[in-house]
Amino acid sequence: MFIRSLEEMEKIVEQKKFLHWDGWTVVQTFNSERARTSPDGIRINGQWHIQKRFVPTSKGWEIPNKIIGSRKEKRES
């Protein structure tokens, strides 16, 4: 799903503790032992994490539905 509005993306990042900003890029970070062999693996404070980066394009940020839920769920809440 593409998020085109900065305001909408800011709300999503604020609501999801596993997301944060790195400039204009939204970053998802979570613990995982599979990170040892993953191209998205990163070591933070002695623990392995998967880190996925969502760089904005001219269409906005492409964020997987499983991270933010469907638009219908967002409207109902």
Local confidence pLDDT in tens for the 77 residues of the chain: 999 999 999 999 999 999 999 999 999 999 999 999 999 999 999 999 999 999 999 999 999 999 887 554 444 43
Straight-line distance from the first to the last Cα atom of the chain, in angstroms, rounded to the nearest whole number: 18
Give the max Cα distance, the chain. 40
| 48: phi then psi, degrees, rounded to nearest 5 | -85, 135
CB-based contacts of 9, cutoff 8 Å, min separation 6: 3, 26, 60, 61
The residue extents of the domains of the chain are 2-76
| 25: phi then psi, degrees, rounded to nearest 5 | -90, 135
